[in-house]
Amino acid sequence: MKMPPRLYIALLHYPVYDRRGRVVTTAVTNLDIHDISRSSRTYGAERFYIVTPIEQQKALVRKILRHWQDGPGALYNPSRGEAFGLAEVRGSLEEVLADISEKTGCRARLVVTGARFTAGVIGFEELRRNMASDSGPYLLLFGTGSGLAGEVTDRADFILEPLGRSSDYNHLSVRSAVAVVLDRLWRER
Amino acid sequence: MKMPPRLYIALLHYPVYDRRGRVVTTAVTNLDIHDISRSSRTYGAERFYIVTPIEQQKALVRKILRHWQDGPGALYNPSRGEAFGLAEVRGSLEEVLADISEKTGCRARLVVTGARFTAGVIGFEELRRNMASDSGPYLLLFGTGSGLAGEVTDRADFILEPLGRSSDYNHLSVRSAVAVVLDRLWRER
């Protein structure tokens, strides 16, 4: 089971909308780190970036990551340690893009996800075909809160078709959404 | 978007294995209730049962459910309230089966999920076909801890093909696994 090469994932805590549509910074959620690390590792993503500009939150994430990467957690649960090996914290989307450029020599294509998009979206099969015919890195962006702010989605190379588009209810957790998106991208190869 | 009719979901906290293979009762996890309620509602499941035999845990779950179903949570986040409307707590798998029998007049077919199964499993497409040709209820069972104990899997009508079967890493969270299983069953109709 392999993803298209060089798939990167980022979970943004800023800039995202709150439920009233204001741009805010959300707090990091411990189980997001666990679940998305595990999904990233299962489906073969290269890296999972947790993005927050707040220094205390970055320090908290580093502490959690260390616990599972090299600390008591790695001894208690080695498979969790393996998943956490993919995770790191960054201060901004720009820092993530710079890191991917440094690793791969290419600027990543930005793929934005979210539940509210209707027009101009790319389907899973089409995205997969694009990734297969393009050797460069792709960065899948997921938003916390009520979704990625316009200043991020405006920069997208692709806006991914929302999950649950034909449901009358479309409020998956971001943890669930990451797993389903990766499963669909993997399966539709 | 509709699931095959009468799909029910249960998350078991007993009897499940711990990491050493001992049968234990696990503690309820708040975010399991949130995420699986939301996935159940998005993909059109009939009901989501949280199963624990421990009275204090049942009381805790009821308190959480009430907060989001009718309490301050329902006002703060009506869509969360709507998802929690599908959730209820039960003391055992038998109680779940009795409830489904009462609601539908039929005993549910038991579909067991887990990461460790290799032989005798049913694929997603085949399960979907079975569900389409059978008007009775199906109960998808998910285990916490390190998976459903043998006394549960021995009773299965079907054992579902594990997710991530061809990955070298297969440790999705149960929250992620529920979302992916529902997405696959819905998509493969």
CB pairs A-B closer than 8 Å:
104
**Which residues of chain A have a CB within 8 Å of the CB of B39?**
172-173, 176
Q: Read off the pLDDT of residues B20-35 as tens digits, 9 standing for 90 and up.
A: 999 999 999 999 999 9
Whole-number pLDDT of residue B5: 59
Lowest mean pLDDT among A131-135, B25-29, B79-83: A131-135
pLDDT value for A166: 78
Whether cis (ω within 30° of 0) applies to the bond prior to A15 is yes
Digit-coded pLDDT (tens) for A155-189: 999 999 999 877 889 899 999 999 999 999 986 43
List chain B residues with CB under 8 Å of A85.
none
Instruction: Please list every residue in chain A whose beta carbon sits closer than 8 Å to the beta carbon of residue B169.
Output: 41-42, 79, 82-83
Q: Which site among A36, A146, A173, A174 would you substitute to test the B interface, given the most B Cβ atoms closer than 10 Å to its Cβ?
A: A173
Quick: pLDDT tens for B96-148. 999 999 999 999 999 999 999 988 999 999 999 999 888 899 999 999 999 99
Question: So what's the ipTM on this one?
Answer: 0.94
Burial class of residue A115, CB neighbours in 10 A (0-12, 13-18, 19+): middle
Cβ–Cβ of A42/B179 closer than 8 Å?
Answer: no
B102 close to B4: Cβ distance less than 8 angstroms: no
**Mean pLDDT, residues A47-66 taken together:** 97
d(CA A2, CA A4): 6
- Pairwise CA distance, residues B102 & A16, whole Å: 45
pTM of the full structure = 0.95
